[in-house]
Structure 1
């Protein structure tokens, strides 16, 4: 069952074929974690969505309040018997059908789909996670790259490249050849007591968990934190690399080319992150 504009519909009925998200990628989405009906980091998701809708010049309905969308997410969870479990929620907002590149309206519709998750809280993966640079296509720095739009072709093709090369993931570059992010998460690099993450001006997704981890790092006196560009040459000199996203939490990268990494900082941050999840 999918929540389409507040109405639960059978997934087999689908949506119109002239959907602008399908035709032009004229859509945004939020991937949200819910634990026993509680939306994790909901305020950050909501304000990112509102900011992205403004950047894409979508008309934000007066009814699109935090309370309204929270209620609609709850309706979708209830309709799928997931209100008392952990779930992955995708909230997609797209401009209504009409026009070619130039839309006939800036009014929007939304879809909410849900899937069950096994883990209510974040755990540190002990599995190998080897990456390499994906250099076939590049991200463009700027506001559009910060938004979670439906145009994720670089991530799709990078994922295919990773599978073809027996990798667990890839790191993406922007047109200035700076390392921007992973295929499914923001990148953090630690060298000694210095922690770096690419600035939003380099083009990474404005990640909800990126913000949470930066807030946590600000409370850890042992480390200096910089939002600054990362060159590919720095990767093999680093002591630790990890990715962050709201579904998986903190994912340590174990190997890049011939360099292997530990997970000292990731291990330190994870219980603090789970405390934030518990406290809401």
Structure 2
């Protein structure tokens, strides 16, 4: 049978084109919406407080990588004299996101920051933005922990092991040091079963539950209750501790001394061996009645 010829007039053709364009636009918007949803939000979390200077619009911005510290630090900073005189608001942000670290530290957006010195050196922040070290935590060692045997630092031993690491690349003991070792031994990440978590405590829980064979972290006194010193192996014996950097555009000594006071007090309240070992940088501040004040004799 001969095929029938279908005639389409201009009006029908125009209607079909309009319908096709509408369908294409509809699915296009769905695609755009999906992409927008999937874009990660660089600003993770923050807490704020208002000082006694209600009419002051200046904000004191702090950037840290440790969320549990945020609440106590905020309370301490909002009660310092210099901040109450000079600022109307305090904001503390925390994140392990490299892009956010580069925003707040690399571009000098943070007035006070708790980060590793390798990050600050990478951005040359001390010369670019005038950051000064006002306090630092002690150096420490990084270890492989195991539950049932002493870990070996060999390719044969580590190949195929289930390893727990931190999911932020700025951590030396939980990410940088173990990754460097695997690279030196020629072990690709695909040759390991790596689980990434958010904190050192999460790493310890992973190991204690048997979910992984090894974790990379630091040793603290309370670890003796869950793990054995016989089953840890040092990866690096001297890892640089995190440092507190203050942006000093001017010689704001009152602010510096009040911040050292607050950080010193915080170190006596935290339930962490690492954060309790704080060393203050030598400036013209001295301890008097558990507070740091400008030493008039040194002026």
Return the structure number with greater helix share.
2
Of Structure 1 and Structure 2, the greater strand share is in 1
TM-score calculated relative to the size of structure 1: 0.23
What is the TM-score of this pair, normalised by structure 2? 0.22
